[in-house]
Amino acid sequence: MKKINRQIALFVLFLFLLNLFPLPQKTFGAWREPVRAKRGMVASQHELASKIGVEVLKKGGNAVDAAVAVALALAVVYPEAGNLGGGGFMIIRFKDGKTAAIDYREMAPAAATRDIFVDTEGNLIRGEGGSTVGYRASGVPGTPAGLDLAYQKYGSKKILWKDLVEPSRLLAQNGYVLSYRLAELFKSYKGTLEKYEDSKRIFLNGGKMFEEGDTLKQPELAATLGRMQKLGAKEFYTGRTAELIAEDMKRNKGLITLEDLKNYVAKERTPLRGTYRGYEILTMPPPSSGGIVMLQVLNMLEGYDLRKMGYNSAQKHHLVAEAMRRAFADRAEFMADPDFAEVPTAQLIDKNYAKKRAETINLTRATKSADIKAGEVTFSEGTETTHFTVVDAEGNMVSNTYTINDLYGSRVTAKGTGVLLNDEMDDFAARPGKPNLFGLIQGERNAVQPKKRPLSSMTPTIVLRKDGSVWFALGARGGPRIISAVLQSVINMIDYDMNIQEAIDAPRIHQQWFPDEVLYEPMGMSPDTLKILESLGQKFGDRPINIASATGIAIEEGTGVKFGAIDSRSDGEAIGY
């Protein structure tokens, strides 16, 4: 009895002291603190790429200059997603308030047709000749053109193009030491990479396989970068590199021709703008669907007190899943390349439209995806990626996501170039109404069509404070789960007062309409929470999985100190100076 009384007394004393000295009110504790720097910062998924970007900043280059150098470096040291043979999107916000959105998404070759990836019986063609593996899976790459557009229009002009290319050329020529992760990843993709001569020789060591600590040299890629260094990015589309790609395509019944390469153009679009609880959000418009879907979900959530619900509560997860379910249904119906289809962007991100969609959410019962249809919109108006974020000493910010789609893209390395080609043709609706590689159902608007850009989930985003200054920027890799990662990181920053590392590391969920299930993460949800959500009618995937991986940078109010964050789900490094 005395022992029990002593325990009670100690507990009462603990509560008394806790009242006097309360613990910090952190909703979620990150495994690590964000990287801190006073001037500039680069956060990318490889340490060498981040270092190259920081060196550009130190030499007087601006955030755009550094972004170009980082993108080129990732093409060498992060071959599963960094690329010359893919495409992406870049959002820029300058200190003076000027903004830009660069669309360098891949484009369907002129020979592409609506039914090119289905057989005579209407079944999807699998493997070689299909939309995910082999020469026919590749769209016309946009990365060199996009980086050139960004540099020519928004670079500082203090750093020459050749000097931005040189560090990557040297990395490809001299090689770099392979991590355990990358060496093992090569082995994981052996079955498809070995089917293509140059891919097998470069990434599988001719079949002998690489081990951790080995040096990977890429002389053909170094030569390609060398030609671009001397002749500019246009060399990729009109020079020897273009000839090599076109010749290899012709030999292997691919779709891309020399004319397709010559005709590729990166485009500047108007950034998509929205608000959430008074904070302005800059993100990418179509052909990226990520910005619209994210803003739609945020608009639906704005009518609820998420802070009061609690960060990891069943009620909050249920609400977010239901909002996602509706936004992804609209994605399937309305979104595509705006140059080929009328996309009602303004209406889809209108707060009144979101209010109507939110009115169909039942907080006590999940809606079956089969019962969710696209919203009523009047047309009265015109899986694997990598993301990096850069901020310079002036406060100019770049948020860039680019991709070759699946890991190692089509698995094809164009002979003689060292360039891994994308499998972005799978991001079209090869069979409208049927799921793609990521299980996404896509509509007729996103059907294959010559010179069209496939719909994307990339969501490079910049969030401003209420005074108009930049607060943070981020993006993610991971197919359609990119949208969920960026969305929930934004919520974590605004609704739950997390820092950038906490916001990115925190467990998250994903719901994309079809398949009708919620994905959740290992150790991201208690068994009790899962049971509550199941009682509400939510269905879950067979096992927990990581939901994308994000990268971001935040700027501290008042001091201007930069905080960089790399998702604990992946590798990489945030480096500042």
Residue whose tokens read 């985003």: 461
Task: Say if residue 234 is in the same domain as residue 256.
Answer: yes
Question: For the segment 47-75, what is each residue's pLDDT rounded down to a tens digit?
Answer: 999 999 999 999 999 999 999 999 999 99
In a domain, 146, yes or no: yes
Task: Say if residue 154 is in the same domain as residue 190.
Answer: yes
Last-in-domain residue among 425, 446, 467: 446
| CA 69/CA 367 separation, integer angstroms | 46
In a domain, 390, yes or no: no
Task: Say if residue 243 is in the same domain as residue 302.
Answer: no
User: Which residue range forms the structural domain that includes residue 187?
Assistant: 40-85+101-266+411-446
Task: Say if residue 437 is in the same domain as residue 297.
Answer: no
Exposure string over 93-120, b if 16+ CB within 10 A, otherwise e: bbbeeeebbbbbbbbbbeebebebbbee
Along the 577 residues of the chain, how does pLDDT read in single tens digits?
A: 444 455 444 444 433 333 333 333 344 555 689 999 999 999 999 999 999 999 999 999 999 999 999 999 999 999 999 999 999 999 999 999 999 999 999 999 999 999 899 888 888 888 888 889 999 999 999 999 999 999 999 999 999 999 999 999 999 999 999 999 999 999 999 999 999 999 999 999 999 999 999 999 999 999 999 999 999 999 999 999 999 999 999 999 999 999 999 999 999 999 999 999 999 999 999 999 999 999 999 999 999 999 999 999 999 999 999 999 999 999 999 999 999 999 999 999 999 999 999 999 999 999 999 998 876 544 332 257 899 999 999 999 999 999 999 999 999 999 999 999 999 998 888 777 666 656 666 678 888 999 999 999 999 999 999 999 999 999 999 999 999 999 999 999 999 999 999 999 999 999 999 999 999 999 899 999 999 999 999 999 889 999 999 999 999 999 999 999 999 999 999 999 9
| Total count of domains within the chain | 2
Q: Residue 215 belongs to what H/E stretch?
A: strand 215-216
Last-in-domain residue among 422, 446, 470: 446
Task: Say if residue 324 is in the same domain as residue 421.
Answer: no
In a domain, 213, yes or no: yes
Question: For the segment 496-542, what is each residue's pLDDT rounded down to a tens digit?
Answer: 999 999 999 999 999 999 999 999 999 899 999 999 999 999 999 88
The count of other CB atoms within 10 Å of the CB of residue 471 is: 20
In a domain, 32, yes or no: no
Contact 577, 37 (CB under 8 A): yes
Residue whose tokens read 């910049």: 462
In a domain, 183, yes or no: yes
Residue 385 catalytic?
A: yes
Q: What is the DSSP letter of 78?
A: -
Indicate the pTM of the whole model: 0.92
φ, ψ of residue 101 to 5 degrees: the values are -135, 120
Task: Say if residue 261 is in the same domain as residue 277.
Answer: no
Task: Say if residue 68 is in the same domain as residue 184.
Answer: yes
Task: Say if residue 167 is in the same domain as residue 313.
Answer: no
| Of 385, 386, 413, 417, catalytic | 385
Task: Say if residue 365 is in the same domain as residue 262.
Answer: no
Exposure string over 245-281, b if 16+ CB within 10 A, otherwise e: bbebbeeeebbbbbebbeebebbbbebbebbbeebeb
| CA 391/CA 63 separation, integer angstroms | 5
Contact 305, 311 (CB under 8 A): no
Pairing of β 470-477 and β 549-555? antiparallel
First CA to last CA distance, the chain: 61
Q: What is the DSSP letter of 158?
A: S
| CA 137/CA 246 separation, integer angstroms | 14
Task: Say if residue 276 is in the same domain as residue 364.
Answer: yes
Task: Say if residue 205 is in the same domain as residue 218.
Answer: yes
Task: Say if residue 312 is in the same domain as residue 261.
Answer: no
CATH number of the domain that 503 lies in? 3.60.20.40
In a domain, 311, yes or no: yes
HSE, side-chain direction, 13 A CA sphere, residue 356: 10
In a domain, 149, yes or no: yes
In a domain, 165, yes or no: yes
